[in-house]
Structure 1
């Protein structure tokens, strides 16, 4: 195998930092509706990808069949609502709570594969899921003691984890037969259209936001979407899927630190305790369910 241009572990560190910026960037643009922020993140990502797709991947579109378009449509809808729920949750709860709860996605994904693909649980997977879910209950209980609004944000974050699971489960069949770039481009495009329809339906304005917000929208398309997503998938050529999966679990830590530095958010005892338990449970879960499968990053 050809040697990488630089250490792939360094690439993973860059990827973790990149995806950790997502929640903070959304918080900085909280004057815009969550669905508008999501819309521009995906729309700008599609615009940036378009020249690459036209030059190197347009031949793959000839192989996309009707069933593929149907799968992509549902995957795009789930992705759109993942961003709506998750970004909206950041209006009600802290970055620490929101990102930790969204990171429970691997557990929802495994439950989905059990229900739809009859993938069997190992004892270690069951124990680790119970640990992670117990941690999420501690976070939610602590937020409920602070205010019911924070608990509502936690529920939205969990809905964000569930909807991104739907995106992965529906799209995995199509993903096996097309390049990552083509699949991502199609789904992002459909998700953008879904969000445009959603925003028009609710009467949200597409213009009139401060200049700083437009830079945030562009940053969301570039930093967590491309630097995070691309770096993880690039590193998979040299590192195992389990290594990448473990690294992604550090996203809540990075996001919480950035929120403390940039947004002056403090972390409560329930968030420290519950977050630690959730991350420990996720580590155990990934170790007990390690398989050679592609990791896709949404944040």
Structure 2
């Protein structure tokens, strides 16, 4: 019996590794699809989110009873979470229009650090000395990355700032989501939050009189690729893999997204990486990698913040707190 189990694991291992690579490649293409689109940032984000809603909706409707269980508090938190996610896409996508893929993606990798800071402030989560060193290493790395953009003009620095604001917004989205994820499954939560986030961007477009239609076929293709490949295939594949691998493994893999995006930007967009960006990027990624390896809140089934049994039963798997199919 033990021999059969070992054989099954050995057979599944290549499938898992290939799936992790496909998921990483899919999310890494997110920045490339945005760069290939000439549409305004809020339009790109709106259609990416709403197209993703349409793709997730058939699965969410199978759990329609979860919608009926939502309390007024849950609805408020879903709306608040959606607002933060909408702001994240607004600022982060615009950052890619202003600065390089390398700078924007390295800065957004700070998200786990900001989530930890928020958890300390809101949930009184304890932070170790090692965690503080990780944060300092990552922050220093981002400062070095930003310093590389000083000689490129104010536009690049503004892009770095937009990426930082977008990272703060997605961190608040993750923290808010922790309060409501015990009520609904991941698919239902994503449908609700994605719809609200898309609505935020829709209202922004209306307020700024940004055209909602009359975009080229290339732009509509990019909207669809962002939804199908980067959101559903990329992050959705990571969600599916949580059945067989730990949340830490997923976190480590997603950490490779900035690296993948930078390599793709070099190959497909001709964007070189200067020395300071490389040094700062390495420092930042080491800090975040070290943090994810040592911070217990990123381990599955954590005792301090155990995933809700009801949500796990509805989803058919154990999920780490706040993990979902959003992200960059």
User: Normalization by structure 2: what TM-score?
Assistant: 0.87
Unpaired segments of 5 or more residues in structure 2? Answer: 301-319
Q: Is the 8 A contact 2:104 2:159 kept in 1?
A: yes
| Mapping for residues 118-133 of structure 1, pairs under 5 Å | 118-133=124-139
Q: Confirm whether residue 28 of structure 1 aligns to residue 17 of structure 2.
A: no
Q: Is the 8 A contact 1:122 1:288 kept in 2?
A: no
Q: Is the 8 A contact 1:9 1:235 kept in 2?
A: no
User: Which residue pairs with 1:286 in the alignment?
Assistant: 292
Match of 2:25 among 1, 7, 17: 17
Q: Is the 8 A contact 1:23 1:255 kept in 2?
A: yes
User: Which residue pairs with 1:37 in the alignment?
Assistant: 44
Match of 1:195 among 201, 217, 220: 201
User: Which residue pairs with 1:273 in the alignment?
Assistant: 279
Shift in CA distance, 6/280, structure 1 to aligned 2, threshold 3 Å = closer
Q: Confirm whether residue 68 of structure 1 aligns to residue 97 of structure 2.
A: no
- Displacement after TM superposition at 1:32 (Å): 1.2
Match of 2:88 among 66, 82, 89: 82
Match of 1:106 among 91, 95, 112: 112
Residue range with higher mean Cα deviation, 3-12 or 196-205: 3-12
Give the Cα–Cα distance (whole angstroms) in 2 for the partners of residues 124 and 235 of structure 1: 29
Q: Confirm whether residue 169 of structure 1 aligns to residue 198 of structure 2.
A: no
Q: Which has the bigger relative contact order, CA under 8 A and spacing at least 6?
A: 1
Over residues 71-90 of structure 1, what are the superposed CA-to-partner deviations in whole Å (9 max), with x where a residue is unaligned? 00000000000000000001
- Displacement after TM superposition at 1:48 (Å): 1.8
SS at structure 1 position matched to 2:327:
coil
Segments of 4+ in structure 1 off by > 4 A? 1-6
User: Normalization by structure 1: what TM-score?
Assistant: 0.96
Give the Cα–Cα distance (whole angstroms) in 1 for the partners of residues 57 and 187 of structure 2: 10
Q: Confirm whether residue 59 of structure 1 aligns to residue 76 of structure 2.
A: no
Unpaired segments of 5 or more residues in structure 1? Answer: none
Q: Confirm whether residue 232 of structure 1 aligns to residue 238 of structure 2.
A: yes
Give the Cα–Cα distance (whole angstroms) in 2 for the partners of residues 6 and 250 of structure 1: 19
Give the Cα–Cα distance (whole angstroms) in 2 for the partners of residues 285 and 72 of structure 1: 28
SS at structure 1 position matched to 2:286:
helix
Over residues 251-272 of structure 1, what are the superposed CA-to-partner deviations in whole Å (9 max), with x where a residue is unaligned? 0110011111111111111111
Q: Confirm whether residue 94 of structure 1 aligns to residue 104 of structure 2.
A: no
SS at structure 1 position matched to 2:64:
helix
- Displacement after TM superposition at 1:5 (Å): 10
Give the Cα–Cα distance (whole angstroms) in 2 for the partners of residues 71 and 135 of structure 1: 33
User: Which residue pairs with 1:116 in the alignment?
Assistant: 122
User: Which residue pairs with 1:298 in the alignment?
Assistant: 327
Over residues 241-284 of structure 1, what are the superposed CA-to-partner deviations in whole Å (9 max), with x where a residue is unaligned? 11111111110110011111111111111111100111111111
Over residues 48-78 of structure 1, what are the superposed CA-to-partner deviations in whole Å (9 max), with x where a residue is unaligned? 2223323x12121111111111000000000
Over residues 205-260 of structure 1, what are the superposed CA-to-partner deviations in whole Å (9 max), with x where a residue is unaligned? 01111101001000000111011111111111211111111111110110011111
Give the Cα–Cα distance (whole angstroms) in 2 for the partners of residues 109 and 5 of structure 1: 31
Give the Cα–Cα distance (whole angstroms) in 2 for the partners of residues 221 and 274 of structure 1: 30
- Displacement after TM superposition at 1:6 (Å): 6.8
Give aligned pairs, total. Answer: 297
Over residues 125-184 of structure 1, what are the superposed CA-to-partner deviations in whole Å (9 max), with x where a residue is unaligned? 111110010000000011112212111101110111100011111111211221111000
Q: Is the 8 A contact 2:46 2:201 kept in 1?
A: yes
